[in-house]
Amino acid sequence: MAKPTFAWLRAMAVAVPFVLSQSARAADEQKAFAIAKILLTPDRAELRRLSAAGYDIAGVNLKSNTADIILQGPRDSLSVMALGLNVLGIRSIDSLEIPDSNYKTPEKVTEIIQNWVRQYPNLAHLESLGKSLNGRDIWGVRITNEASGPAKKPTVLFNAEHHAREVMTVEVVLDTGDYLLSNYGKDPKVTKWVDDSEIWLIPMVNPDGSSQVWSGKNMWRKNNRGNYGVDINRNYPFKWSGCGGSSAFPWAADYHGAAAASEPETQVMMQFIQRTQPVFNISYHSYSEIVIYPYGCDGQHAETRDVVEPIGQAMAESIPSETGDGTYRAGTAWELLYDVDGSDIDWMYHDHHVLAYCIEVTSDQSGFQPPFSHRQSTVESVRPAWQLLLDKLDQSGIRGWVHDKQGHDVTDASVAIKGKNSFSDQPGVWRIKQNGSFHAILNPGNYQVSITVNGKTINRDVTVGDKVASLDIEI
């Protein structure tokens, strides 16, 4: 079903009565019905004000320096004008309209990934990682050839739809699975990735929210807590409610919940990360054509920013903009947008040293739910970014395996890596998987690796070059 197009209303004098007349259609405050496009000043200070005031910022266009704000009712419309913003126009959206039926419901995602396992039983493994608040399965698919490659494989995670209305993100993750499975044994690069690593896909983190989108609330973003919802991507414990980058007001789009990690969906993701210890993560969102890396609070950079940020920049430069003018851009949330606290990527990076990125796919031309005809060009445009991460597993870094004299995996070791751009201030359990292995992406240089088990520490000096260095540690 094609979305109806609405003319931009240039004059607020026209926009106000229009918006008010639409209010009667909104059966409740959760049914969004208009998007205001706002011209930002060069420092984008308006974004911080809007975010701090609890507005639902749908996306930005950093090239034209505009932001799209969801107006959830006439009060929103009036107060957005009262802020003295430069409103370029207001576009109505039919929030009751069901998205293009080719996008995926939770049931359709389940069917597709179950088919993968039937079609590629040697490559695809499916498991329920846990249940959503309403009892739906949150599915994870592991793609690897168990029979090939190294015994201790590094893990990479690609996940989508923390936010329910961002339906294109599911397509990107499903395309990743399709691409890997259908090209295995045909394309040598794909074959190597699937042989040598465990690629996990979580196509729908928020299936309850998705069900809302498919039942007449197409701007639904959060999970189904109460009748207001919690923003799962503000609910992670690192800096939860920590820097004004989320809201304490349940009706706000970025409501962070009653407590850190209060939501089942957040807990499922955390347990999964703790179990699998990914080297990389991409969390797909929409829209804005940007790549975001840790940290989300004002002025803070990742401890290993010399590793984190160039990879984010390279991914951004690998994705062409939808409108053909340049590429995606990269930065921290506070550099590109506004403060964000309690996000998944910050928690993954800080607590588990996952190199974790958020990619906001599609432009403001597409919005959250463009016609499905935008799907193919979008998923293809993003492929260079996730493929770049899979290639990095073979490049500069250290891959280690800790075992005892009998060759049994040691899983209770802590690993600290000291040297250039390292977490030397936070030695602790670092990327030790349940199979005794760890994998650290590092820039070329000299490092000291310290492995501690039961109070005993072994130090190794390692020189890292362009290729990953293997470390076999008997303890």
* Footprint on this chain of Zn ion (rule: CB under 5 A): 163, 285
Rounded least distance, CB 162 to Zn ion, Å: 6
In this structure, the chain runs to a length of 475
Name the pairing type of β-strands 34-39 and 66-71.
antiparallel
> Whose Cβ is closer to Zn ion: residue 57's or residue 471's?
57
Cα–Cα nearest to 143, from 95, 190, 77: 190
User: Alpha carbon 137 to chain centroid distance?
Assistant: 19
Ranked by CB distance to Zn ion, the top (closest) residue is 285
> Whose Cβ is closer to Zn ion: residue 37's or residue 285's?
285
Rounded least distance, CB 339 to Zn ion, Å: 15
Return the SS3 of 70: strand
Rounded least distance, CB 284 to Zn ion, Å: 8
Q: Which DSSP helix (H) or strand (E) runs through 345?
A: helix 344-352
> Whose Cβ is closer to Zn ion: residue 144's or residue 343's?
343
Rounded least distance, CB 59 to Zn ion, Å: 9
Rounded least distance, CB 305 to Zn ion, Å: 23
Amino acid symbol at 240: W
Strand residue runs (E) in 166-225: 198-202
> Whose Cβ is closer to Zn ion: residue 285's or residue 353's?
285
Strand residue runs (E) in 179-230: 198-202
> Whose Cβ is closer to Zn ion: residue 155's or residue 246's?
246
Distances, alpha carbon 12 to alpha carbons 17, 64, 452, in Å: 9, 20, 65
For residue 250 the two structure tokens come to 């349940």
Q: CA angle, 64 as apex, 63 and 69 as ends, to 5°?
A: 110
Rounded least distance, CB 357 to Zn ion, Å: 13
> Whose Cβ is closer to Zn ion: residue 285's or residue 431's?
285
Q: Where are the alpha helices (DSSP H) in 85-127?
A: 106-119
